[in-house]
Structure 1
Amino acid sequence: MIDSAASWRTWPLVALYFTSFGGFLALTAWLPTFWGTFYRAPHWVALGLTAGFSLFSSLIRVPAGGWSDRFGGEKVAFAAYGLLLAGAVMMTLSQSFGMSAAGEVLVAAGMGIANAAVFKLVPHYVPDAVGGTAGWVGGLGALGGFVVPPILGHVAQTMGAIGYARGYAVYVVLAIASLLLTGLLYATPARRQPVEPPQGSTRTTARL
């Protein structure tokens, strides 16, 4: 844990997971209120849209792991946070039920794909402290589920009914920041430190 905390690359990874997984947790708590209050949707519709969001975002994480292996975690992360950004912009500006629902689908896809991509990046950027880094990323990243909902609530309380939509601007900011952090990591790849052999030891190479 100490070694991973000493690597600056751990903290952008934490921030990326804060956006994707923490943001996902926040929306599972907020979406019933959003649909029920902003669009006056029946209770079962609000719950159904929230359940659909949660299920889709969770399921798409499975193939996203394979995409990360095939195309690289950085490319998949760029695509994922791009989807999140597009969906967040749609939900922020929309006053149409259909457009908000479409934005929700994009946000769900982006978050689920990003969750898989981030853990593909962990061993690449902090190769000498993978377990500790995964602990920081998983633990602190989940704090987004507690930090974001009060912000959404404050915007709604301050701006009135339209604030339930405008509050999604926080996800626009988080998505842009995540794209920048992904670019920063990509521009500064980590290199595993070579392990020196014990003094006096010899190396042998077996050849078939």
Structure 2
Amino acid sequence: MGYEASIEFSWAPLLVELKEEEENRRVLRLDSIEENAKYWLGVDVLVFDSAHWWTHSGKWSSWDYFKEGARLFTNLNPMVAYEKGLTTWAKWVDLNLDPRRTRVIFRSVSPRHNRENGWQCYKQKEPLVFLGYSPRVPGQLVVLREVLKKMSFPVYLMDVTSMSALRRDGHPSIYAEEGRDREGPASDCSHWCLPGVPDAWNEMLYALL
């Protein structure tokens, strides 16, 4: 394109390392990040995003155990685990990146209009009106803000949460599966249609660059 630029995608949805150990146990190492972070060195602009995968549970969970140091946990509050993992990431950024060389942007959690929020996307075709609407602040965003406050490296928080919360109409809802016109598991209120809301996030990112 003439800009001598390249874009790379590094798959690390939990930021910290997820390992398969003895007896096929999937262990999420809350204080280990080097294997993922080696791809982040020498980059001009880093854009991070980590939130939803931390709340998965049961058969949807990516891990069987949490590990911190030599301690192994089977049960840990998801937001406590998220804070520990995010703190590991923050320490790595503070110690290994130079703000004169690298810009770091962290995109906030994408809101879900799902079951616990009353299936707010079910069959919706119009966005919410901002006036009088007070969106719920996800726990991940609360944790992220607190961790960023403690960092010495200037990380820019690209907050897409509130603006996206208005777009209850932007999800596939029931329309992702033709003929399944019913409220329930078929109503996808977590993912987004494309083109759609994520395009607005890209416009925000473009403006930051």
The interval holding the TM-score normalised by the smaller chain is under 0.3
Q: Which has the higher helix share?
A: 1
TM-score normalised according to structure 1 size? 0.27
Which structure is higher in strand share? 2
The structure with more radius of gyration: 1
TM-score of the aligned structures, taking structure 2 as reference length? 0.27
